[in-house]
Amino acid sequence: MREPLAGIVIPVFQKRYIKQAISVIFATTRQTEIAVCVVNDGQPSLRPELEELKRPGLVSVIQLDRNRGFAGANNAGWRHLLKEHPSLKYLGTINDDTVPREAWLDNMVRSLEAHPQTALAMPVMEQKANWWSPRKYYATWQFAGVPGTMVPDRSAIEEDTFVPAVNGFCFVARAEALRQVDYFDERYKNSCEDLDIGLKLITSGWRLVVCKCSVVFHYAGRSRGSREANTDCRFSRDLLSQKWGRDRTIYNRLDRDGFWESGGRGIAGKGSPV
């Protein structure tokens, strides 16, 4: 078996969709060699069932002894994957309430390889709130005005599109870029950590892209909405404001090549604030 090119983390807080997600991940990935790491985010009741998901060389399982949140679970999974497969070029994440469509990962990897100095690729999000509601699509996102976080921009795109903001339900990134910005900031409480990592990347001279040919279905908030998940949106928004300022619309300003206008092209920009 060849060494994988990409490592995908599934941070698990609930088990409803996990078996389906793993089977679909492999069924819909045709060309990219992958390794998957399932991370139990401190849920003792899930330990036996998740252990059964192990597949040598393909699926590994980490059992965290405490709830570390979305950021901490992903960081643990990425570091485990890099330890097991040091040659990994790409690292990604997909929520435990997200189901990928055909060629989702292959297409995001192709987008990254087609666009130099691009750190991260994100798919188009498909959603359906319930059986009687219409399907909705969300392609690009941008920062909202004070005191918001981010808002949908376009529902459809005709070509790969560079964006200022990341939605963490699913993405694939260059491992070197994630290492450069020290992965997710684990202080966040299941909110805003995706915006923060995107800001760290664009202010370090990288680009973020939405892949027009990659689509995943997201059940939207089914995994981290409970009180037991330690979600605290107010705390996370306050932390984001402390780090990046209350008015983050300044980061929506991308030049024609998709770089943040104040960031510098192909080189480190001003860097992320402390």
Q: Is the residue at 273 inside a domain?
A: no
Backbone angles phi, psi at 210, to 5 degrees: -100, 125
At residue 226 the predicted structure's pLDDT band, cuts being 50, 70 and 90, is low
Give the residue with greater pLDDT, 46 vs 19: 46
| pLDDT at position 144 | 92
Q: Is the residue at 224 inside a domain?
A: yes
Q: Is the residue at 173 inside a domain?
A: yes
CB atoms within 10 A of CB 180: 16
- Overall average pLDDT of the 35-46 stretch: 94
| pLDDT at position 133 | 76
> Which domain range does residue 173 map to?
6-252
Structural contact between residues 227 and 11, judged by C-beta atoms closer than 8 angstroms:
no
Structural contact between residues 122 and 170, judged by C-beta atoms closer than 8 angstroms:
yes
Q: How far apart are the first and last CA of the chain?
A: 42
CB atoms within 10 A of CB 205: 21
Q: Is the residue at 76 inside a domain?
A: yes
Going by C-alpha positions, the residue among 173, 181, 249, 142 that lies closest to residue 7 is 173
- Overall average pLDDT of the 71-95 stretch: 97
At residue 99 the predicted structure's pLDDT band, cuts being 50, 70 and 90, is confident
Model confidence pLDDT, tens digit, residues 167-190: 999 999 999 999 999 999 999 999
Whether 265 has a pLDDT exceeding 90, the answer reads no
At residue 270 the predicted structure's pLDDT band, cuts being 50, 70 and 90, is very low
Domain count, the chain: 1
Q: Is the residue at 269 inside a domain?
A: no
Cα–Cα dist 141/154, whole Å: 7
Tokens encoding 137: 């699509």
Number of helices (H), then strands (E), in the chain = 7, 12
| pLDDT at position 117 | 97
Q: Is the residue at 47 inside a domain?
A: yes
Q: Is the residue at 25 inside a domain?
A: yes
Whether 271 has a pLDDT exceeding 70, the answer reads no
- Overall average pLDDT of the 140-166 stretch: 92
| pLDDT at position 263 | 53
Share of the chain above pLDDT 90, in %: 77
Whether 108 has a pLDDT exceeding 80, the answer reads yes
Structural contact between residues 201 and 119, judged by C-beta atoms closer than 8 angstroms:
yes
- Overall average pLDDT of the 70-86 stretch: 97
Q: What is the dihedral of CA 99, 168, 202, 140, to 10 degrees?
A: 60
At residue 51 the predicted structure's pLDDT band, cuts being 50, 70 and 90, is very high
- Overall average pLDDT of the 51-61 stretch: 94
CATH number at residue 176: 3.90.550.10
Model pTM score: 0.91
| pLDDT at position 11 | 94
Q: Is the residue at 257 inside a domain?
A: no
At residue 19 the predicted structure's pLDDT band, cuts being 50, 70 and 90, is confident
Average pLDDT for the chain: 90
